Amino acid sequence: MRQTAQPEQRHHREFLSRWESMEPTLQKLYRSLYGEVGYTQFCDMLRLRWSARSDELLDLDRDRLEHPTWYQESSMIGMMLYVDNFSDTFAGMPARLDYLEELGVTYLHIMPVFDMPESLNDGGYAVSDFTSIDERFGTNEQFDTFICACHERNISVCLDFVLNHTSDEHAWAVKAREGDKRYASRYFIYQDRTLPDQYEQTVNEVFPVLAPGNFTYNAHMESWVLTTFNHYQWDLNYQNPDVFREMASALLQMANRGVDIFRFDAIPYIWKQWGTSCRNLPQVHTIIRMFRIILELVAPATIIKGEVVMAPQDVAPYFGTEQAPECHLLYNVTFMVELWNSLATRDTRMLSSLITDIPDNIPSGACWVNYARCHDDIGWGFSEDAARTIGFDPFQHKRFLIMFYLGAYPGSFSRGELYESDPKTLDARNCGTCASLCGLEKSLQDRDEYQMELAVKRIALLHAFCMAANGIPVIYSGDEIGQLNDYSYIYDMHKARDSRYLHRQKFDWAAASRRGDLSLPGSQVFRKIHRFITISKGQRFMGSSHRLSTLKTSDVGVICMLVRPRKLETAEMMVVLANFTEHQKQITIDTGGHPYMGEHTWTDLVQGKLIRFAEDPVIIGPYEILLLTVAS
Ligand code: GLC
């Protein structure tokens, strides 16, 4: 009896001590939005959720509090996948983990799996019940077993927390439709167009082509509902403290099932104030800050990854500050855009200027998530100033990228489709798998082995650059075996209008099982990515606690990126040289400001190749990437 009581008491003491130190700040933030309304109920909910935390998770909480940088290690390699595409249901997932372990994956982002409408569900981003697994993916028990299986292999599980909206089938929406005013006040519902019309004056549309307008008319209620995304995704009203409390409660319930990383979906949109752009408002930061505190308080083993698809200057503020942190992780969205831009233009200057602009002064626990592809489209949100600086007209340049990745620009190696293509503004985004956008599909169609080799090199370059560039690299499932676009989505009437399904296909297990056969391009991709992963693990210049800078090279096609420890004042570093063109290049680098670079012989971590910057020009092959360090 005593033996079991002791750890429990210790956990309780630790919780109380966290409560004492964090609650005053939480209360202050809460009051700034809601006054006193519902605060006691909110605190009761937090205590209740903590008391439901299992012993295993309480132990994990303690471990991670003792090793708070667990997610910043170079061993962190992420993958994102759809359960149904990868293994049909959760029942089959544990058996699939061998493959992920072989690749070196330690963080697995599972695309939305909670209850969702049958067909119109935005790939699961329209949630009908935050506590129940949709039966298409298996049972709640299978989900729990899967999480345990991941933890046994030291794989952290990341799940979406869709906080801006619910589906129109969520119990709250159903009650609102039935006329229950308490639930109607959890959304934005108007009987006439006065307020919706005012709103439309100042707020942009997210899907101007696929889902125009920010409001949807509901005939049953004879009212207009705010639906920023699709018509079946009803925006939640966070001005109502019940919404905040219940969403916080849902978050903690998910945390209590063992989720390690929450992907906070579409963060910038969650607070609405008429007369503003309704994006990135200060109250959004207050809410994220509160979510962070309640996780630190109740489930400190868990961390937050923010999805903030905004201009570069609007993204880093979501890390918060050292004293008032918000997200632990943020997608490095513009970095991804600049990788694709560099491939299309064979010019790394915009990538280089972005790397220089990535702020260094982020909180010590903050880190970027680097990726080449994900389940969404690529929106061309590059810095227009950076484009102008090098003489590109931003509009024309965007048009070039759109056409290039569609495969319609003369000489393009790419095969893709347009998304949200607006014939009025000529704006569009692009879809496609990494391999098809990198030229593998076209080269196979053309039976062009030379182009095929280049495509494989492009895919490897993008992934290796993500691994080298300070952050957690996340691979989109299928890209590691070079999967091509799947055009069959157009035969499904619920998907046909959404070209993002072009790259949301079934995982090709037959191709994966032939990964030892290096005559196949997909297997070559796997081998190269696997090799970079193996090298990056344990590498002190990989991981997430570094700062990046760039040096000018004699050729715009080749970037020179320096990776140095964020905190230590040392001359030691990793030098990354990457050629974003299909041509062999001879380059020189001005190492004037970095005598350390000139003085040493540098060894490429991948091939062992030796480089001396002080001597002859460096020769770098098509799409080659060199990860150079000085042997200690
Ligand atoms: C996020 C998701 C995207 C979804 C949107 C609306 O941006 O990544 O797939 O359509 O949120 O929930």
DSSP 266-287: TGGGS---TTS--SS-HHHHHH
Lowest mean pLDDT among 192-206, 356-370, 396-410, 413-427: 356-370
Catalytic residue from among 169, 235, 242, 265: 265
Pairing of strands 233-235, 165-167: antiparallel
Please state, in angstroms and rounded to a whole number, the distance separating the CA atoms of residues 576 and 157.
30
Ligand 1 centroid to Cα of residue 78, in Å, is 19
Question: What integer is the mean pLDDT of 221-246?
Answer: 98
Question: What integer is the mean pLDDT of 228-237?
Answer: 97
Ligand 1 centroid to Cα of residue 134, in Å, is 18
Please state, in angstroms and rounded to a whole number, the distance separating the CA atoms of residues 16 and 164.
31
Edge-first strand listing for the sheet containing 558-565: 546-551, 558-565, 574-579, 625-629, 602-604, 610-611
Ligand 1 centroid to Cα of residue 265, in Å, is 7
Using the atom order of ligand 1, give the atom closest to the CA of residue 229.
6
Please state, in angstroms and rounded to a whole number, the distance separating the CA atoms of residues 9 and 6.
5
Q: Coil, strand, or helix at residue 518?
A: coil
Residue 163 near residue 254, CB atoms below 8 Å = no
Residue 88 bridge partners (DSSP):
none
Sorted by sequence, the CB contacts under 8 Å of residue 88 that are 6+ apart come out as none
> Could you tell me the two tokens for 518?
């290096």
Quick check: 83 pLDDT over 70? yes
Question: What is the residue whose two structure tokens read 């099932």?
Answer: 257
Residue 597 near residue 560, CB atoms below 8 Å = no
Ligand 1 pocket, 420 CB below 6 A?
Answer: no
Ligand 1 centroid to Cα of residue 200, in Å, is 21
H or E element in which residue 87 lies? helix 83-87
Of the pLDDT bands very low, low, confident and very high (cuts 50, 70, 90), residue 247 is very high
State the average pLDDT for the chain. 95
Of the pLDDT bands very low, low, confident and very high (cuts 50, 70, 90), residue 5 is low
Residue 101: half-sphere exposure toward Cβ, Cα within 13 Å: 13
End-to-end, the C-alpha distance of the chain in Å comes to: 54
Catalytic residue from among 307, 326, 338, 555: 307
Atom 10 (ligand 1): residue with closest C-alpha?
122
Residues 265, 208, 160: CA angle, nearest 5 degrees: 10
Question: What is the residue whose two structure tokens read 């030229």?
Answer: 439
Range list of H helices, 469-594: 509-513, 521-536
Ligand 1 centroid to Cα of residue 125, in Å, is 6
Ligand 1 centroid to Cα of residue 38, in Å, is 30
For the beta carbon of residue 8, count every other beta carbon within 10 angstroms.
11
Provide the strand spans (E) within 352-457: 367-371, 417-422, 427-431
Residue 305 near residue 327, CB atoms below 8 Å = yes
Q: pLDDT, tens digit, for every residue of 480-525?
A: 999 999 999 999 999 999 999 999 999 999 999 999 999 999 999 9
Please state, in angstroms and rounded to a whole number, the distance separating the CA atoms of residues 59 and 38.
31
Ligand 1 pocket, 122 CB below 6 A?
Answer: yes
Residue 265 is a catalytic residue: yes
Name the residue of 110, 125, 207, 498 to mutate for ligand 1: max ligand atoms within 8 A of Cβ. 125
Residue type, 354: L
Q: What is the pLDDT of residue 312?
A: 83
Q: pLDDT, tens digit, for every residue of 266-317?
A: 999 999 999 999 999 999 999 999 999 999 999 999 999 999 999 888 999 9
Above pLDDT 70, what percent of the chain?
A: 99
Please state, in angstroms and rounded to a whole number, the distance separating the CA atoms of residues 405 and 407.
5
Using the atom order of ligand 1, give the atom closest to the CA of residue 125.
12
Of the pLDDT bands very low, low, confident and very high (cuts 50, 70, 90), residue 92 is very high
Name the residue of 166, 206, 233, 376 to mutate for ligand 1: max ligand atoms within 8 A of Cβ. 376
Question: What is the residue whose two structure tokens read 């759809």?
Answer: 82
Quick check: 4 pLDDT over 70? no
Question: What is the residue whose two structure tokens read 């909180």?
Answer: 363
Q: Which residue has the higher pLDDT, 5 or 244?
A: 244
Please state, in angstroms and rounded to a whole number, the distance separating the CA atoms of residues 262 and 328.
10
Ligand 1 pocket, 183 CB below 6 A?
Answer: no
Ligand 1 pocket, 379 CB below 6 A?
Answer: no
Ligand 1 pocket, 266 CB below 6 A?
Answer: yes
> Could you tell me the two tokens for 162?
């869709």
Please state, in angstroms and rounded to a whole number, the distance separating the CA atoms of residues 477 and 93.
14
> Could you tell me the two tokens for 444?
């196979």
Atom 8 (ligand 1): residue with closest C-alpha?
376
Q: pLDDT, tens digit, for every residue of 191-207?
A: 999 999 999 999 999 99
Tell the burial category of 609 from Cβ atoms under 10 Å away from its Cβ (0-12, 13-18, 19+): middle
Please state, in angstroms and rounded to a whole number, the distance separating the CA atoms of residues 190 and 185.
10
Range list of H helices, 486-609: 509-513, 521-536, 595-599
Using the atom order of ligand 1, give the atom closest to the CA of residue 122.
10
Sorted by sequence, the CB contacts under 8 Å of residue 259 that are 6+ apart come out as 147, 157, 158, 159, 302
Angle between helix 282-298 and 2-34 (nearest 10): 170
Question: What is the residue whose two structure tokens read 């077993």?
Answer: 145
Q: Phi/psi zone of residue 98: left (φ > 0), alpha (ψ -120 to 50 degrees), beta?
A: alpha
Quick check: 2 pLDDT over 80? no
Ligand 1 centroid to Cα of residue 402, in Å, is 21
Quick check: 591 pLDDT over 90? no
Atom 3 (ligand 1): residue with closest C-alpha?
376
Using the atom order of ligand 1, give the atom closest to the CA of residue 374.
8
- Closest C-alpha among 496, 572, 586, 513 to residue 539: 572
Provide the strand spans (E) within 48-179: 78-81, 107-110, 114-115, 129-133, 156-161, 165-167
Sorted by sequence, the CB contacts under 8 Å of residue 54 that are 6+ apart come out as 256
Pairing of strands 367-371, 625-629: unpaired
Ligand 1 centroid to Cα of residue 124, in Å, is 9
Quick check: 172 pLDDT over 50? yes
Sorted by sequence, the CB contacts under 8 Å of residue 362 that are 6+ apart come out as 316, 319
Q: What is the pLDDT of residue 205?
A: 93
Quick check: 3 pLDDT over 50? no
Of the pLDDT bands very low, low, confident and very high (cuts 50, 70, 90), residue 565 is confident
Question: What is the residue whose two structure tokens read 């709640």?
Answer: 140
Percentages helix, strand, coil for the chain (3-state, rounded to 5) are 45, 20, 40
Atom 7 (ligand 1): residue with closest C-alpha?
266
Name the residue of 109, 121, 122, 127 to mutate for ligand 1: max ligand atoms within 8 A of Cβ. 122
